[in-house]
Structure 1
């Protein structure tokens, strides 16, 4: 077995976590320019933390001013601290025979399930973190109505009101009122909502059917549209449920909206835990596990929303 086996494998896992299938709705979202601080490293309470300078400062603009001296506005600054989410795999055992040569094909085959599980978990957590807690003036949580023109409301199996073009236009109006940026509005549709729009072949069929990875996202009613299977749940009262909680029969899976300039992400450390076969004479296997840190978050509770 090559002496640098652990280093080769963890480097490959890091590369795959960086370059594997990404959530396209996070493409172009700014990576926070902040150093990651490992707190309590190699303990049960280990955390990856970042510190950022933050300000809500906006300059007041005077129009046709004729009063002097001009009023003074004091600059206000502050700090934000974020703890990155921690993702851990279960231990994978690999025999000495399997790791001879440590080729990329072998590394990817052994670690694929772990890296995929991390990616699925971190992107599901990202949609949950971005989604607002509840409806406010700045964070609209909108209920689909099924209304499409003058026809009777469209109802899916189980009594769920379908998402329609009229809903998207009305939701756009709420986002306008909430001061969403005109550019780079993104709407990550749940599977149900995506399928609702597919049924409206006149307005959406071609645009959504033709949408594929590697192509630009379709833009409808001012939103770049994406589809994602693991969007968060809300209660019937419009309150976001805790991440990982079991949904009840009245809970609704949401579509999540945001402005790209209101969201940030940060990739933290990726660590490998390795026990060589030489220390395991009975099983003669190398034991591997991985830990990865990642965060996606709105800068403030604004420019984010949801459709239920």
Structure 2
């Protein structure tokens, strides 16, 4: 009777594994389907169809992991790019995704313009070559720290844990991308065609408040640089938003009426947004802090203005890294993280951006 019992146990174990695999693929597929607006039933079916289709190509023991990895990688790509196209001020910047090749964008550096002769009487006319050049720009790489997900967690709370991990990694990537983008757009220091203005209001807690006069000065700067009137964007930090709420009734009215996706309204020719991730400047020198530098107590946060028509952003490849719990016999934990390539930059060095920082009291 023992051989029959052993056979029965093997069959039972095989059936249990098959049922777990079907449930796993169904849950993963349903979660992905809901995230993209499809019926969960369709996602559950698709997850198992995909598993069946890939079964012949997958290495032994890796089939279910591979299916999950493909599902989460595809979902991360979609959600990251969707966020960039709908996330407040960042959505105003044109996407260059279609020009990305192996996480590099190739721009053409224009060599110059021909000289124009008026009422020329001298021949032969001089020949001037216009030497254009390829300018490759590599995308920045953003990597999340690794998150552990134990088998006990997955068993206890089903697959919502993986959905939660994926969502938090995506949100962290988008937020860091936004901070890096506005840092790249902000001027390094005050220059004639890339101004860093200072606030001029009353002194409160050691700094001068932002006023409507400062917004008007910013408009004058853009007018002087010949920046088109459309698509002027101003991203205000919280300090400056609070200053204007305190002193400007018109700003307060706009703030209370229209506050979606961080957008406040349109004033002085700017579409105004609120964002807490704008870069810091040294209050004395007026120079922007390097990316990643920790602000000192004497540094001040900026508000950043730009012309959207001379900015670009692009999202490149996405990688989902996952080590299975089966390879960690001591901890029985999966390790998960994402790597995302992307970039946001001004297309022109000058005459397309500016910043305002709080001036310190004398």
Fold match (TM-score > 0.5): yes
Q: Whole-Å Cα distance in 2 between the matches of residues 304 and 103 of structure 1?
A: 48
Aligned to 1:149: none
Could you tell me which of 30, 47, 67 is aligned with 2:94?
30
CA drift of 1:243 comes to 0.9
Aligned to 1:174: 221
Q: Structure 2: which 5+ runs fail to align?
A: 1-20, 26-63, 358-362
1:234 aligns with 2:298: no
Equivalent residues, number: 287
Write out per-residue CA displacement over residues 258-299 of structure 1, whole angstroms, 9 at most, x where no aligned residue: 101110001011101111222222322222111111110001
Q: Which moved more, 1:178-187 or 1:221-230?
A: 178-187
1:306 aligns with 2:355: yes
Question: Whose helix proportion is higher, 1 or 2?
Answer: 2
Aligned to 1:112: 167
CA drift of 1:68 comes to 6.4
Q: Whole-Å Cα distance in 2 between the matches of residues 226 and 57 of structure 1?
A: 36
CA drift of 1:51 comes to 2.0
Could you tell me which of 145, 160, 177 is aligned with 1:90?
145
Distance 1:126 1:248, change over 3 A: same
Aligned to 2:203: 155
Q: Whole-Å Cα distance in 1 between the matches of residues 181 and 250 of structure 2?
A: 30
1:1-308 superposed matches below 5 A: 1=21, 2=25, 3=64, 4-20=67-83, 22-32=86-96, 33-37=98-102, 48-55=103-110, 57=112, 67=120, 74-96=129-151, 105-146=160-201, 154-156=202-204, 158-213=205-260, 218-235=265-282, 236-302=284-350, 303-308=352-357
Q: SS at 1:27's partner residue?
A: helix
In 2, are the aligned partners of 1:9 and 1:107 still within 8 Å (CA)? Answer: no
Q: Whole-Å Cα distance in 2 between the matches of residues 198 and 272 of structure 1?
A: 43
Give TM-score, length-normalised by structure 1.
0.83
Give TM-score, length-normalised by structure 2.
0.71
Q: Which moved more, 1:84-93 or 1:13-22?
A: 13-22
